């Protein structure tokens, strides 16, 4: 019996020794592999994550962009942070963001499809899509927007016509307090999109325009809420939250509206005279069907998501930029004085046109500084790596979520003389001439740059100058310029805080 026990002990000891030997050899092999390709496997640094929650205790979800800027100071321009269990690589500073998006357009060119983005678009459209479908929809959208005058005379005429409607609306309330988030600005920018998409504009009192504007604004605002950010981290746990239900209800309403608009356009379609983007889509869809193409990207859901993407992105950011512009003019009356003096000297009382920009250097500098300081989309729209990539000495795996931190670019202390103040001088040389700045990328850069950038720039320029030609903007009675709050309301975009202004018609 003792012999059996000794034999068993020897056998057990031999197996244990073998197991430990194999384990040690495995660890040595892994370490050897890691050190032999140290550059390939060196991943970006970052704060140590806790199980399940990651770095949530170190992040303020109400102002994530500020938290990430602080972390960049500690960990450098390329670092890792964990939103729950999701690993995110953050790119900070102009040089790093520009290098990633422009020099590595393919590697950093995919879009991160979060759970809420999947719920909303299911991979369709141009904002939250990847692959061949995204490429085709983006190509089609850019081509069609150009056909309908994006950045050209046709779009300019539409915007100028809408400027007249907007100024008329303001004059009806002249001298009264106007809420800066009032709907008229939103309706004006929405009508530019409806004209391009449907070939039609709406009166500001039309409930269809009101509903479209409200839903587009709500979707952008709710997308950046802390509850939706938490849902994106733990979708299996938080599908029941109220904000997700609100978003899905708005999406269903949008789908219903687009189908209704499309039904009317389809019934009156003339392939030889397209009225807008939807007509062009329907014509292309019919050609694909006639050619026997079965696996076409020109399907109903791609059309609906592309249209709603254009409404959401093309109205909210432009409206927010104009709201910031009016608020900053009221906050800094001496700057407003110089803008209006330049407009009076160069333009007089005639309508401002896009070609006048080159003769309005100070006004152009002010508009650019509004876009820089307002920092509308501070985190950009999240990207994802399409393949493994070694970037600035760090290895980033395929499918990693990437935040190009635009706020760190627009306030990069190595690029801007006074990054945290409103200073139009950032865009003027010593002779008062306008100068462009490489670090001015509020519309992002690379293959995911905003498709409507040139249209948005023209809208902001023409709406802003038209309003400043006709009105002087001041704080509400009893409020001083110093008391005007510039603390943004944080959502997916940064919007001005609620407050009142007075618009007084100029003589």
3-state secondary structure string across 234-265: CCCCCCCCHHHHHHHHHHHHHHHHHHHHHHHH
Q: How many CB atoms lie within 10 A of CB 379?
A: 19
Distance CA 390, CA 396 (A): 6
Interstrand relation of 78-83 and 86-91 (parallel, antiparallel or unpaired): antiparallel
User: Could you give the angle at which helices 300-331 and 183-198 cross, rounded to 10 degrees?
Assistant: 150
Which stretches of 2-128 are DSSP H helices?
2-36, 38-41, 64-75, 94-98, 115-121
- 122, 124, 129, 135 alpha-carbon torsion, rounded to 10°: 160
Burial class (CB in 10 A: 0-12, 13-18, 19+), 415: middle
Q: Is 66 helix (H, G, I), strand (E, B) or coil?
A: helix
| Tokens encoding 491 | 């959502």
Known binding residues are: 450
Q: Which helix (H) or strand (E) holds 401?
A: strand 401-404
Q: Are 363 and 427 in contact (CB under 8 A)?
A: no
- Output the CA angle 392-393-397, nearest 5 degrees: 95
**Separation in Å, CA 328 to CA 197, 371, 480:** 32, 11, 13
Binding residues for heme: 450
């Amino acid at each position: 019996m003792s012999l059996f026990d000794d034999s068993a002990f020897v056998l057990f000891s031999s197996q244990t020794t073998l197991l430990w030997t194999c384990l040690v050899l495995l660890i040595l092999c892994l370490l050897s592999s890691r050190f032999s390709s140290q550059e390939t496997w060196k991943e970006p640094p970052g704060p140590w994550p806790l199980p399940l929650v990651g770095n949530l205790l170190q992040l303020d979800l109400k102002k994530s962009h500020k938290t990430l800027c602080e972390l960049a100071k500690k960990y450098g321009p390329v670092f890792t942070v964990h939103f729950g269990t999701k690993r995110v690589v953050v790119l900070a500073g102009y040089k790093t963001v520009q290098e990633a998006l422009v020099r590595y357009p393919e590697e950093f060119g995919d879009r991160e499809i979060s759970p809420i983005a999947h719920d909303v678009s299911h991979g369709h459209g141009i904002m939250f899509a990847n692959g061949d479908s995204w490429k085709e929809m983006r190509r089609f959208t850019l081509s069609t927007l150009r056909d309908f005058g994006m950045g050209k005379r046709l779009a300019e005429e539409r915007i100028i016509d809408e400027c007249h409607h907007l100024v008329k609306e303001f004059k009806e309330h002249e001298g009264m307090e106007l809420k800066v988030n009032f709907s008229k600005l939103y309706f004006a920018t929405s009508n530019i999109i409806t004209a391009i998409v449907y070939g039609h504009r709406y009166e500001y009192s039309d409930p269809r325009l009101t509903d479209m504007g409200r839903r587009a604004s709500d979707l952008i605002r709710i997308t950046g809420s802390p509850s939706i950010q938490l849902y994106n981290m733990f979708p299996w746990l938080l599908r029941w939250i109220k904000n997700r239900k609100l978003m899905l209800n708005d999406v269903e309403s949008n789908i219903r509206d687009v189908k209704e608009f499309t039904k009317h356009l389809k019934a009156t379609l003339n392939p030889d005279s397209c009225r807008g983007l939807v007509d062009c889509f329907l014509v292309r869809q019919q050609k694909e069907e006639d050619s026997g193409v079965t696996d076409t990207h020109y399907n109903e859901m791609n059309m609906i998501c592309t249209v709603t993407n254009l409404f959401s992105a093309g109205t909210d950011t432009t409206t927010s930029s104009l709201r910031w512009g009016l608020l900053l003019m009221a906050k800094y009356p001496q700057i407003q004085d110089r803008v209006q003096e330049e407009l009076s000297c160069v333009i007089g009382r005639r309508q401002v046109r896009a070609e006048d920009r080159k003769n309005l250097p100070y006004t152009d500098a002010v508009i650019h500084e509004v876009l820089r300081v307002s920092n509308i989309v501070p985190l950009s729209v999240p990207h994802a790596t399409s393949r493994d990539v070694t970037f600035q000495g760090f290895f980033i795996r395929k499918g990693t979520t990437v935040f190009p931190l635009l706020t760190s670019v627009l306030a990069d202390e190595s690029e801007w003389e006074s990054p945290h103040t409103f200073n139009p001088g950032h865009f003027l040389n010593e002779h008062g001439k306008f100068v462009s700045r490489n670090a001015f990328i509020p519309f992002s850069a690379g293959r995911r740059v905003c498709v409507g950038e040139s249209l948005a720039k023209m809208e902001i320029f023409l709406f802003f100058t038209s309003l400043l030609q006709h009105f002087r903007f001041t704080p509400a009675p009893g409020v001083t310029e110093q008391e005007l709050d510039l603390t943004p309301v944080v959502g997916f975009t940064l919007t001005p805080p609620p407050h009142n202004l007075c618009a007084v018609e100029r003589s």
